[in-house]
Amino acid sequence: MSTTRLLGMSRPELERWAEEQGQPAFRGRQLHDWLYARGARSLEAITVLPKAWRQQLAQAGPQDAEGADDWIGRSRGVHRAVAADGTTKLLLATADGHTIETVGIPAEGRLTVCVSSQVGCPMACRFCATGKGGLQRSLAVHEIVDQVLSVREAMEQRPSHVVFMGMGEPLLNIEAVLAAIRCLCSDLGMAQRQITLSTVGVPRTLPRLAELALQKLGRAQFTLAVSLHAPEQRLREDLIPTAHAYPLEALLADCRDYLAITGRRVSFEYILLGGLNDQPRHADGLARLIRGFQSHVNLIPYNPIAEEQFQRPTAAAVQAFRRGLQERGIAVSVRASRGLEADAACGQLRRRLADSLAPAPAAG
């Protein structure tokens, strides 16, 4: 049985695929339109294609859990949570029964989609619900692109920005992530500058990301966001256990190499945990750590999860931390909290619904 999925393919690739199936190249162009402009979920729904060909493919190709053809590779929506501010979190089921989260975040004149790159995550960050369940597998290109299409359908709005800040560590799935970025730009009409890739850091990987981006995308104009969360190594290892293999000095050296290769400024993310890493001395330490670096700091007030006793910082602490960085010449912004009542922290919705979504035990 074929494992080919059409979602994620470019127009030339779809034309070649159609020809390999004994069809004229223009069938590939029709497929491209229905996949990306219309969001088709099955070949059967693409009525411009010859019925006999659709039936032939349906018999020979992959099928989803309900027995329909799965040539395209769309995931199935299993739950939707909508916050008062319109933030919409979707729980999607993949063909092999895993669940992943994606979030649509509306703002005036824009819609940002937060996408996952893996099922679960191996990085084990203590403040992240996703890492509590470990890693199941990395996502394929079609499963990443599908998240953007699913949010577009659910919110009936064209996404303007995409951030790889959902489940998983993107640098452990570089090939699929870069292929998805290519698809989002070439096939869905987004610009690289509207895309952000967030990483907690994987040793010796940032220079490779830079080289691969230039090779596969022609240029590296997406924003790289590196999660620091602490101004010194011991505290960072306490928050991110995997950081013991990647000292801050080595991480920042790789960031400088990335900047040198791509010419793109690096953004640093810093989750503020009440009473733990949000004090004036931490702001001073962070400023000294990245002083002289062409960068920007994005402060993120913590979203509590049930498994940890971390506290959300006070508004006064957030503003004091921000002022402390600004006074030391660091470009800084604070990310507004969105959708707190909709299991906002990454992985929370998936974990809350895990029991109800688990398959029933086999009889007998």
Assign 222 to helix, strand or coil: coil
CA torsion, ordered 83, 87, 325, 169, to nearest 10 deg: 110
Domains defined along the chain, listed by start: 11-60 (1.10.150), 76-356 (3.20.20.70)
DSSP conformation letters of 105-152:
EEETTEEEEE--SEEE-SS--TT-SGGGG-EEEEPPHHHHHHHHHHHH
Which listed residue (101, 143, 169, 269) is catalytic? Answer: 101
pLDDT in tens, 129-141: 887 778 999 999 9
Task: Tell me what pLDDT residue 62 has.
Answer: 81
Of 109, 133, 110, the residue nearest 123 (C-alpha):
133
Q: What is the rounded average pLDDT of the residues 161-168?
A: 96
pLDDT band for 349, please (50, 70, 90 cuts).
low
pLDDT in tens, 238-278: 999 999 999 999 999 999 999 999 999 999 999 999 999 99
Is 101 designated active site?
yes
pLDDT band for 67, please (50, 70, 90 cuts).
low
Is 249 designated active site?
no
Which listed residue (121, 125, 128, 346) is catalytic? Answer: 346
pLDDT in tens, 90-139: 999 999 999 999 999 999 999 999 999 999 999 989 888 887 778 999 99
What predicted TM-score, i.e. pTM, was given to this entire model?
0.92
pLDDT in tens, 312-346: 999 999 999 999 999 999 999 999 876 655 455 55
Q: Which residues pair with 298 in a beta bridge?
A: 269, 333
Task: Tell me what pLDDT residue 362 has.
Answer: 42
Contacts by residues 307-314 (CB-CB < 8 Å, ≥ 24 positions apart):
307/129, 307/132, 308/126, 308/127, 310/126, 310/127, 310/273, 310/274, 310/276, 311/273, 311/274, 311/275, 311/276, 312/274, 313/272, 313/273, 313/274, 313/275, 313/278, 314/274
Q: Exposure string (b/e) for 322-353, b if CB count within 10 Å is 16 or more?
A: bebbeeeebebebeeebbeebbbbbbbbbbbb
Distance CA 341, CA 327 (A): 34
Tell me the backbone φ, ψ of residue 275, rounded to 5 degrees: 75, -5
Task: Tell me what pLDDT residue 305 has.
Answer: 76
pLDDT at 300 over 60: yes
Q: What is residue 164's DSSP assignment? A: E
